């Protein structure tokens, strides 16, 4: 049953601060939009209770009297205004009102640490032990150093391509820390920190980027296309957003097999402009699959700003449209990211539901080594985010405040990282170009392999000397 209420804004504000309470019902008054005169027009006030023997009309009348007696004269009763529709209850209204194209109040952004690493008063977060906190910080510093080494290697011509995670270290490491090793990860290409947390060594990163013989892809992938079957990390693919529906399918499989795990997929704000994102969100909601969508909203899809991509209030609000529980988080706050992903995982696994996390951050580095971001955004804006909003510095201040870190530990950490990488290693043999597709290599590929080796032998100066033939 629905009832219609006409009342000025002050009465609604009064009601919103109260709850209908009894042994059979508890209903919070939802927020109500204003019209141009700051008055509330006829709005539906819907109450439900479990005791069907209670006369609904008398029940609501008693509840209204309990909290605001003037309302008893402002209720219009209509016993046929709720339709039990297959998709949910439809509440009818005599008022013609279009949904606004933008909210009057923007979605809040969950944050625990301020820019100086201080806990914000009354913060609600998941506690982190000293051991976990120190590992999180160490991994963020390692990721920064890794980016520096490989970025310089590309600039020196030793590798062909690289993508950094500068400014997004907290999203990488904090989210990984909140997951378990059984959770399956479907990355985009800016999440090497998740692999780092799970135990992927710096040498393994180097093997992939340099295409060494020890590379799991045998040198057949472009740099930064990491993958590890052992660590439940699907191989990176450059095609935008294709990993999102894959993650939902994997999550549905985990649900069917009754596994205590979830799937997690990462993507940028540009990925949400692809149809794969929308199909995956709806697929996940309908199948109630345990999947966590983590969107790195860093403001730019290469050179396209978010203002040219969408008019919605960010990404999190889209989850509600698909029936997916969502949250917006300060992606530069490692403690907030850890807490949000930790809670999201519990809900996904225990309740069998998808969760969308919008991590608001900024891509401090160029999109890739093929990009010069100063051509489309001001250099002083980049520098401000690098200095004032650096997630690594912010988290370091917090662990220092707790007495868990100091300058001596910092020096030891930074000096030890570079020594863990050996660039020079044997390259994969040429015949690896033709294997791992067919069980029995067809004759045309055998002919191509023979011709390639003959060409290399005739023109040895045109081919790398360290590639075995």
Question: Per residue in 31-77, pLDDT tens?
Answer: 444 444 444 444 444 444 444 444 444 455 455 444 444 544 444 44
The DSSP symbol for 30 reads P
Q: Where are the alpha helices (DSSP H) in 257-333?
A: 275-287, 316-322
- Give, as one character, the DSSP assignment of residue 260: S
**Residue 106: pLDDT band by 50, 70, 90 thresholds?**
confident
More confident residue, 107 or 168: 168
Up-side HSE of residue 228: CA atoms within 13 Å toward CB?
Answer: 22
Rounded to whole angstroms, the Cα distance separating 293 from 9 reads: 38
Q: What is the pLDDT of residue 468?
A: 83
Stretch 321-331: mean pLDDT, rounded? 97
Least confident stretch, 37-51, 188-202, 323-337, 452-466: 37-51
What is the full DSSP assignment across 80-133?
Answer: T-EEEETTEEEEP-SS--PPPSS-SSPPP-B-SB-TTSPBPTT-------HHHH
Q: What pLDDT digit, counting tens, does each position of 413-463 carry? A: 998 998 887 767 888 999 999 999 999 999 999 999 999 999 999 999 998
Cβ-contact 265, 291 below 8 angstroms: yes
In angstroms, how far is CA 193 from the centroid of its own chain? 14
- Tell me what the pLDDT averaged over the chain comes to: 86
Contact 194, 185 (CB under 8 A): yes
DSSP, collapsed to helix, strand or coil, labels residue 417 as helix
State yes or no: pLDDT of 329 exceeds 60. Answer: yes
Task: Give me 445's structure tokens.
Answer: 């590929």
What pLDDT sits at residue 72?
46
- Beta strand spans in 9-51 (E): 19-21, 26-28, 39-46
Of residues 24 and 162, more confidence is placed in 162
Distance of alpha carbon 3 from the chain centroid: 40
Is the pLDDT at 287 greater than 90, yes or no? yes
Q: What is the distance between the alpha carbons of residues 364 and 166, in angstroms, rounded to a whole number?
A: 6
What pLDDT, on the 0 to 100 scale, is given for residue 86?
A: 85
Residue with tokens 């700003």: 305
Residue 362 pLDDT > 70, yes or no?
yes
Banded pLDDT at 283 (limits 50, 70, 90)? very high
Which of 225, 342, 366, 367 is flagged as catalytic?
Answer: 367
What confidence category does residue 8 fall into, taking pLDDT thresholds of 50, 70 and 90?
A: very low
Compute the distance between CA of residue 457 and CA of residue 469 in angstroms, rounded to an integer: 9
Q: Is the torsion defined by CA of 212, 215, 220, 225 positive or negative?
A: negative
* Predicted pLDDT of residue 28: 40
For the chain, give the percent of residues with pLDDT over 90: 72
Closest CA to 392 of 212, 210, 158, 139: 139
In angstroms, the CA 365 to CA 147 distance is 10
What integer pLDDT is reported at residue 14 of this predicted model? Answer: 53
Q: What is the pLDDT of residue 176?
A: 98
Alpha helices in 235-333 (DSSP H): 243-256, 275-287, 316-322
Query: Which pLDDT belongs to residue 32?
Result: 42
DSSP 124: -
3-state class of 40 per DSSP? Answer: strand
pLDDT of amino acid 64: 47
d(CA 248, CA 355): 11
Q: For 255-265, how does the pLDDT look when each residue is reduced to its tens digit (9 = 90+)?
A: 999 999 999 99
Catalytic residue, from 138, 289, 368, 373: name it: 368
Q: Minimal CA–CA distance to 45: which of 6, 13, 11, 96?
A: 6
The answer, yes or no, to whether residue 87 has pLDDT greater than 80, is no
pLDDT tens, residue by residue, 213-257:
999 999 999 999 999 999 999 999 999 999 999 999 999 999 999
Q: Is 152 a catalytic residue?
A: yes
pTM: 0.82
Structure-block tokens of residue 392:
């690594």
pLDDT score at 66? 47
For residues 173 and 136, is the Cβ–Cβ distance under 8 A? yes
State the pLDDT at residue 13: 54
DSSP letter at 367?
S
How much is the pLDDT for 425?
82
Mean pLDDT of 136-153: 96
CA angle in degrees (0–180, nearest 5) for 177-179-180:
110
pLDDT class of 140 with cuts at 50, 70, 90: very high
Encoded tokens for 17? 């601060």
Q: Which 3 state secondary structure label does DSSP give 373?
A: helix
Token look-up 């939009």 returns 33
Which secondary-structure segment (H or E) carries 457?
helix 443-458
Residue 407, pLDDT score: 94
Q: Identify whether 342 is a catalytic site residue.
A: no
Is residue 233 within 8 Å of residue 178, measured between CB atoms? no
Binning pLDDT at 50, 70 and 90, where does residue 351 land?
very high
Determine the pLDDT at residue 89.
85
What pLDDT does 423 receive? 64
The DSSP output letter for 232 is T
Instruction: Please give the Cα distance from 187 to 192 (Å, whole number).
Output: 9
- Whether 358 is a known active-site residue: answer no
Catalytic pick among 238, 273, 312, 343: 238
- 95, 152, 426, 447: the catalytic one is 152
């Amino acid at each position: 049953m629905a009832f219609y209420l006409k009342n000025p804004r002050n009465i609604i504000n009064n009601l919103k601060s109260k709850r209908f309470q009894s042994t059979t019902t508890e209903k919070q008054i939802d927020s109500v939009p204003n019209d141009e005169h700051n008055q509330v027009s006829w709005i539906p006030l819907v109450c439900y209770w479990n005791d069907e023997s209670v006369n609904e009309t008398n029940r609501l009348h008693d509840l209204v009297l309990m909290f605001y007696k003037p309302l008893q004269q402002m209720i219009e009763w209509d016993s046929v205004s709720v339709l039990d529709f297959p998709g949910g209850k439809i509440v009818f209204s005599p008022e013609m009102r279009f949904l606004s194209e933008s909210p009057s109040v923007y979605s809040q952004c969950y944050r625990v640490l301020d820019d100086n690493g201080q806990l914000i008063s009354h913060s609600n977060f998941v506690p982190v032990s000293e051991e976990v906190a120190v590992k999180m910080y160490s991994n963020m510093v390692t990721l920064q150093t890794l980016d520096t080494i490989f970025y310089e290697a590309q600039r020196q011509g030793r590798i062909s391509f690289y993508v950094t995670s500068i400014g997004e270290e907290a999203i990488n490491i904090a989210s990984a820390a909140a997951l378990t090793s059984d959770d399956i990860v479907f990355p985009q290409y800016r999440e090497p920190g998740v692999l780092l947390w799970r135990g992927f060594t710096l040498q393994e990163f180097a093997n992939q980027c340099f295409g060494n013989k020890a590379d799991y892809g045998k040198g057949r992938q472009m740099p930064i296309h990491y993958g590890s079957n052992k660590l439940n990390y699907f191989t990176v693919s450059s095609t935008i957003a294709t990993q999102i529906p894959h993650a939902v399918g994997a999550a549905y499989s985990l649900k069917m097999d009754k596994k205590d795990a979830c799937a997690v997929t990462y993507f940028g704000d540009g990925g949400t402009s692809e149809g794969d994102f929308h199909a995956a969100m709806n697929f996940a909601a309908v199948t109630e699959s345990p999947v966590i969508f983590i969107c790195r909203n860093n403001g730019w899809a290469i050179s396209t700003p978010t203002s040219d991509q969408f008019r919605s209030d960010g990404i999190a609000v889209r989850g509600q449209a698909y029936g997916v529980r969502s949250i917006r988080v300060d992606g530069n706050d490692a403690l907030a990211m850890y807490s949000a992903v930790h809670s999201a995982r519990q809900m996904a696994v225990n309740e069998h539901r998808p969760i969308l996390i919008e991590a608001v951050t900024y891509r401090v580095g160029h999109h890739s080594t093929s990009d010069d971001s100063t051509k489309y955004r001001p250099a002083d804006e980049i520098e401000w985010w690098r200095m004032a909003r650096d997630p690594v510095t912010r988290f370091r201040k917090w662990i220092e405040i707790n007495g868990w870190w100091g300058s001596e530990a910092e020096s030891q950490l930074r000096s030890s990282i570079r020594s863990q990488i050996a660039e020079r290693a044997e390259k994969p043999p040429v015949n690896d170009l033709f294997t791992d597709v067919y069980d029995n290599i067809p004759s045309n590929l055998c002919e191509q392999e023979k011709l390639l080796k003959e060409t290399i032998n005739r023109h040895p100066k045109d081919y790398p000397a360290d590639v075995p033939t």
